[in-house]
Amino acid sequence: MARVALVLGSGGARGYAHLGAVQELRERGHEIVAVSGTSMGAVVGGLVAAGKDADFTAWASTLTGRRVVRLADPTWTGGGAATAEKLMAALDEIVGDVLIESLPIPFTAVATDLAARREVWFQRGPLIPAMRASFAIPGLFTPAVVDGRVLVDGGLLNPLPLEPTAAATADFTVAVSLQGPREPHEPTSPARGFSVRRAEWAADLRRRFRRGEEELTESPEAPAEAPPADAVDVRPDVRTAEVVSLAFDAMQSLITRYRLATLPPDVLVTVPLSAARTIDFHRAGELVDLGRTLTKAALDDAGR
């Protein structure tokens, strides 16, 4: 058995793969002695540190596309498209009102202070608000305000927070990045393009995001729930959400490459961007399995 420092990256719904990585580490008898996470990595990391990740996995596996939209709590004010208050309430039911410093495993959640343009490491204080601050993707979720700071997603500056675990007493570090290339040899050099008339690209854009909206509201894993008779259609602007998430992914992929070059982990698990969209939170089962498969291969390659 080895002592493992675990680093969990940002990437929205692909973060379910973190749960599979944890399952594989435990199956091999490894002990997780420190966890750091950004965005969805902070959510899963906090649950792991609290010993509640199995409960979360069971809950997430019941989500459908319609339930995901409702949990997001769409809004039209406050600096974002959704508040996620219902999601926070669900996490509170799973974890309870606990302090980060009282968790069985040392944990760090990373957020971004917009005004100061610097990372904020939460290592003390209530766990749920730290999670909320860490996953506030700009444009999608409303920012969190803590101690006068306006905080958003930690992935804005640090999509794979290796630094908080650098001093941990561990035998090796496992980092799970959710920013892998869509293809094995995805090019990173600039591409030459040709401009087209605005009507052409506008039509293509509408077709693409109409398909995305249909996929989100109809889950392939379970029949959609019938809304209450008096329900109001509060779907967020899914097309805008996908534009924001794709832009965020592009930025985080570049930052992750630089971070890994500066402080490489002993074992790197890479989940490709093509595994799921940021908003595909109704696909927990398959993404947990993918995370376990990729972690098994990475550990085998490293002889761990």
Phi, psi of 247 (to 5 degrees): -65, -40
Which parts of 118-157 are beta strand (E)? 118-122, 144-146, 149-153
Angle of helix 53-60 relative to helix 284-302, nearest 10 degrees, comes to: 130
Phi, psi of 172 (to 5 degrees): -160, 165
Distance CA 40, CA 218 (A): 22
Candidate list 53, 73, 153, 280, residue with the active-site label:
153
- Reduced to 3 states (helix: H, G, I; strand: E, B; else coil), residue 272 is strand
Distances (CA, A) of 274 to 39, 65, 75, 96: 19, 19, 29, 34
Angle of helix 16-27 relative to helix 40-50, nearest 10 degrees, comes to: 40
Q: 73: closest CA among 234, 219, 239, 283?
A: 234
Length of the chain: 304
Candidate list 39, 177, 219, 245, residue with the active-site label:
39
39 is catalytic: yes
97 is catalytic: no
Return the number of other C-beta atoms located less than 10 Å from residue 195's C-beta. 7
Q: What is the CA radius of gyration of the chain?
A: 19
Distance CA 302, CA 296 (A): 10
Distance CA 199, CA 204 (A): 9
- What is the four-CA torsion angle of 143, 144, 150, 154, rounded to 10 degrees? -80
Catalytic residues: 39, 153
